[in-house]
Amino acid sequence: MAGEARKDDVGKKLFDSRAAASLVGELRGAFASGTTRSYQWRESQLKGILRMTDDRERDIAAALRSDLGKPELESVVYEVAMLRNSCKLALKELQHWMMPEKVKTSLTTFPSSAEIVSEPLGVVLIISAWNYPYLLSLDPVVGAIAAGNAVALKPSEIAPATSALLAKLLGEYMDNSSIRVVEGAVAETTALLEQKWDKIFYTGNGRVGQIVMAAAAKHLTPVVLELGGKAPVVVDSGVNLQIACRRIIAGKWGCNNGQACVSSDYMITTKDLAPKLVDALKNELEMFYGKNPLESKDLSRIVNSNHFTRLTKLLDEDKVSNKVVYGGERDPTKLQIAPTILLDVPRDSLIMKEEIFGPLLPILTVDKLEESFDIINSGPKPLAAYIFTNDKKLKDHFVKNVSAGGLVVNDTTVHLAVHTLPFGGVGESGMGAYHGKFSFDAFSHKKAVVYRSFMGDAAIRYPPYTNGKLRLMKALLGGSILGILRAIFGRS
């Protein structure tokens, strides 16, 4: 029950609402001391994350291997290196990000100056996902620390090895008075969500996103929701099919075996191109993962038995099971599903209604590629959308008319690596954005400040109000120099 200590089977006291309230109180005390606001503290904590990542790279890769069967190259490139780059960028730009931004003022406040001051929000909660459990836990933490906040991090219990490692390492490398890790599952997350935070950053699925947003609404807490959706990839004729297929495979099966929010969820191409596209995908998949991909060491496994069962249910639906043109092999003992391509699946099938989040790639065919835009826009807005084409008119139409968190032309997923771009969703794929400066901004309040002296005090502000004052005030608010002169000299 809420507020009561609970114990597990071995008598260990679990994290409940009372413990959550105590944690928040401790973090608020640390934030109120002013320690986290200083540049020196922010710099030292960012350097701590960087040092931790460098020192313990092998431990991190081992934890990711334990949780997901993730190949070392994927662990290093997509988690360790990306986090390292995020820290380095924040350290390089931090002083610049912290500087007030000078802005122009208007005639109505003359003489004056103004600026926008970035101040930390306070005490923030970050709830991370299991598919990239190191990166998606710490990348938002980098932004929160850079902005000067105290932080509580809740890693995903579905990646227990990485969760335990994060709790251990942050305890060793970070300031534990201001940065804390809470391990656990639904009960612990619920206890945390009952508290008042200054911001909640959640990465995961839309169902839990609704729960997070409802809990935040009770305290009017702002949220960033990094969700997902069915990311489409449109393939036009006239492109280099080998390169296109390699890039599609890298963004689908090379990203955690499809267990990524920006992985291609389905493909759309023309009826004429479909056979060639399928053949090209088969050839490249065999080159990458061999004739028996279930034996490949370069494919991550499905994270757990629940997700394995969910994916096999999508694959075994009556209206879909006969649409497999490549792959479909599975091994429940190893939680492995081979890269699988399905052709001409019905749009009302489960696989086209749900986010797949796995190694299955259905292909829809159309007579004209322009039809693909209507298909995409008929569903919820995705987190990412991709197109392969050399047709400038088609590219422009795609960018102008397809609404998604981010778009990539002639590749997939690479927009994540561009730190000058915001990464986030739109509509059901999420709200808010981060990466680079956008991470700093996500955890900052932009405070407006106006500075005035005691000079230039205008009588027109004060009673008694006259018609002359009214004319002059209208002119001032209208910003017209000519109007101001006419008001002053009484000319019509």
110-136 residue pLDDT tens: 889 999 999 999 999 999 999 999 999
Measured CA to CA, the distance from residue 192 to residue 16 in angstroms comes to 8
How many other CB atoms are found less than 10 A from the CB of residue 334? 13
45-69 residue pLDDT tens: 999 999 999 999 999 999 999 999 9
Establish whether the linkage from the previous residue to 111 is cis, with ω within 30° of 0: yes
Give the pLDDT score at 475.
Answer: 79
Backbone angles phi, psi at 421, to 5 degrees: -105, 140
Domain ranges for the chain, please list them.
17-227+436-445, 232-424, 457-487
DSSP percent split of the chain into helix, strand, coil, nearest 5 = 45, 20, 35
Give the pLDDT score at 477.
Answer: 74
74, 261, 284, 428: which is the annotated catalytic residue? 261
Measured CA to CA, the distance from residue 82 to residue 88 in angstroms comes to 10
226, 284, 355, 428: which is the annotated catalytic residue? 226
SS3 of 418, please? coil
Choice among 96-100, 103-107, 156-160, 391-395 with the minimum mean pLDDT: 103-107
Q: Which helix H or strand E contains 115, and what residues bound it?
A: strand 112-120
User: Residue 458: which pLDDT band, with cuts at 50, 70 and 90?
Assistant: confident
Q: Which long-range contacts link 395-400 to residues 24+ away (Cβ below 8 Å)?
A: 397/370, 397/373, 398/234, 398/373
pTM over 0.95: no
* Strands (DSSP E) found in 374-488: 384-388, 406-409, 423-424, 430-431, 433-434, 444-452
CATH of 232-424, one of 3.40.50.2000, 3.40.309.10, 1.20.1530.20, 3.40.50.300: 3.40.309.10
Residue 87 among the catalytic residues: no
Residue 428 among the catalytic residues: no
- Residue 256 pLDDT > 90: yes
- Residue 490 pLDDT > 80: no
Give the pLDDT score at 483.
Answer: 65
Q: Which architecture does CATH list for 17-227+436-445?
A: 3-Layer(aba) Sandwich (3.40)
By DSSP bridging, strand 101-103 and strand 112-120 are antiparallel
364-383 residue pLDDT tens: 999 999 999 999 999 999 99
